[in-house]
Amino acid sequence: MILFETTESVIEILWDIALAFFLVRLAFVYFLLNLVSALALSYYYYYPLASQSAGEQLPLLPLLLLVANSAVWARFVIVYYEVPRVTGFRIAAGVTSLVFMVLAEMVAGLVMYEEGYYTGRQQWMMADYLKGGAEFGAVMAAYALMPWVQMGLEGLGARGEEEDESTSHGHEGKTLVDAVPTVNLSEKSLKQKKME
């Protein structure tokens, strides 16, 4: 049964739009999880007791914790949303999430600057690292590339062997034509196909 007649280009455009929504949703969820965790981490790190004990001894500790935080949340998003192991897709999701993070940092910096938080002890956490941008840039690069880096961890099973390439959808033995229903053929072309 054919629901509607259309051309392949319309289906391709609709597929691209659906893929873009999926990519943006993944990137936004990854960004939100990291943002909330980073806010909690920065609150703890700049709480007077924590900043006196660990802040002066290990100045790069918050950056290392942010990288570990992004690794945990990247793994969670990949497993929960069953993100495919496609390099370009994962890098695009990470870069899109990085755009969200940079925009959030810019908005937070502007708000805090307008409120006068750049004076005295109440400095913004990333203001220190923006001065020596190499560390901050490395953390942001690790944040953006973390979904792609996770591909290296996914390929190995518990014994160091490659995992089975099967999916959870039951289409392992099917060809692409059998697995995906065709909706863009007219009845006339279907009759011609059956006669051949």
Instruction: Encode pLDDT of 118-171 as tens digits.
Output: 655 455 555 555 566 777 788 889 999 999 999 888 765 544 444 455 445 555
Please state the pTM of the whole predicted model: 0.67
Cβ neighbourhood burial of 186 (10 Å; 0-12, 13-18, 19+)? exposed
Kindly indicate the confidence band of residue 74, based on its pLDDT and cuts at 50, 70 and 90: very high
Kindly indicate the confidence band of residue 16, based on its pLDDT and cuts at 50, 70 and 90: confident
- Give me 20's structure tokens: 């873009």
pLDDT of 38 higher than 80: yes
Kindly indicate the confidence band of residue 42, based on its pLDDT and cuts at 50, 70 and 90: confident
pLDDT of 36 higher than 80: yes
Q: What pLDDT score does 2 carry? A: 54
**Lookup result for tokens 């993070």:** 101
CA terminus-to-terminus distance, the chain: 20
Between CA 56 and CA 184 the distance in angstroms is: 65
Q: Are 157 and 78 contacting, i.e. CB atoms less than 8 angstroms apart?
A: no
Please tell me which of 37-46, 85-94, 133-142 the model is most confident about, judged by mean pLDDT.
85-94
Higher pLDDT, 116 or 125: 116
Average pLDDT, the chain: 75
Q: What angle do CA 61, 65, 69 make, to 5 degrees?
A: 175
Q: What pLDDT score does 98 carry? A: 95
Range scoring the smallest mean pLDDT among 20-24, 80-84, 192-196: 192-196
